[in-house]
Amino acid sequence: MSLKKVFALALHIGVHLAALLPLVWLFWAVPAGELGGDPVEELIHFLGLGALRLLLLSLLIAPLVKYLQIAALFKLRRPLGLWAYTWASLHFFAWLALDLVFEWGLIAEEIIKRSYILLGFSLWLILSALALTSLPRLMRAMKGKWQTLHWWIYPAAIMGCIHFWWSLKSGWFEPAVYLLITLVLIALRKKKLLGATAR
Ligand code: HEM
């Protein structure tokens, strides 16, 4: 195996381990009481923040490839995006199962009544569409439409930061930093994005 291939494989394994190990850690941390006095709330926060970080990491790949000229990084976008979706779905599931214990009437009420939940839910629907269409067979079938759909990752990242900001009872600094990072990442792709929307 060439050195390039070993490097690409190591990057892949690194991404999978970095996304999987914190989830494995939860199996020990929850029963051991490591999540503090309100483990359900802490778990929802942990998974939500992890999803947003993975989403932003997936957006960081394109500028990194451009400036560092390491093409092997490109292949990390798909696993990072799919892991972001997995964490976001677990965040959603933790809320459904542990916070609202599958009370469907209450769940529907919360989604309609609380704007930040409605925003999170809309964002999750966008991520679901992106995850589903990242299957190689669908990618090929969609041709040019695939790229147009996948530009939605940028509004999705902004929505994630606003959902984060809105969910807080107090404070603004952390979500503001995430929003700033998102806007910088979008600015770095400005030319491509403007080209795509003009089409
Ligand atoms: C499926 C719909 C979703 C629901 C119902 C939902 C619900 C929630 C809830 C209940 C909270 C905690 C609010 C509190 O402090 O009490 C929260 C926080 C958060 N969510 Fe979501 N969410 C959803 C989707 C998402 C998605 C897709 C992302 C990211 C990609 C995300 C990222 C976050 C973040 C970053 C926080 C703040 C975590 C913190 O305070 O440390 N959420 N969400």
The domain ranges of the chain are 3-198
Residue 127 CA to residue 111 CA, distance in Å, equals 17
- Is residue 5's pLDDT more than 90? no
CB 31 within 8 A of CB 42: no
Residues within a 6 A CB radius of ligand 1:
41, 44-45, 48-49, 51-52, 55, 88, 91-92, 95, 117, 120-121, 123-124, 127, 160, 163-164, 167
Contact 87, 19 (CB under 8 A): yes
Q: Is the pLDDT of residue 198 over 70?
A: no
**Mean pLDDT of all residues belonging to the chain:** 95
Between the CA of 91 and the centroid of ligand 1 the distance, in Å, is 7
User: What type of residue is 60?
Assistant: L
Question: Quick one: angle between helices 104-113 and 115-132, nearest 10?
Answer: 100
Place of tokens 């529907």: 108
Query: 169 pLDDT exceeds 70?
Result: yes
Cα angle at 105 between 101 and 108, to 5 degrees?
A: 95
Q: Where residue 64 falls among pLDDT bands split at 50, 70, 90?
A: very high
pLDDT of amino acid 4: 83
- Which pLDDT band, with edges at 50, 70 and 90, does 150 fall under? very high
Nearest CA, atom 38, ligand 1: 45
The model's confidence at residue 170, banded by pLDDT at 50, 70 and 90, is very high
Confidence of residue 91 (pLDDT cuts 50, 70, 90): very high
**Placement of tokens 């999750």 in the chain:** 124
**What pLDDT, on a 0 to 100 scale, did the predictor assign at position 100?**
97
